[in-house]
Structure 1
Amino acid sequence: MAPLLAREPVDATLQIAKRACERYEQRGRQDGRTVQDWGQAEREIRKDEPHQ
């Protein structure tokens, strides 16, 4: 039996930032929703991460 290898944690910060910027652009660059854009982007990116 092969030994189990631990996966290194993935730093998704750059992916989240990119997606949050995309959301900002899609809304016509309207200010005032930075936190909401980041939160939604984080949920979208993290839903694909493997759970431990």
Structure 2
Amino acid sequence: MNATQTKDRLYDQLAASLKNVSRAVGQTADLFEHLQTNLSAMRVLAGTHAAQ
């Protein structure tokens, strides 16, 4: 395998890794949105419970 082929293979691996990182960041953003919704619901529940 020559140097150009090795470099191309490494760039392909880098591209795949960046794609995986991008997907993971997107999933993390989605999870934070769910967390924000759940925390808001917990605030409402705590307020309702305290009012009882």
The two structures have a TM-score, normalised by structure 1, of 0.33
State TM-score, norm by structure 2: 0.33
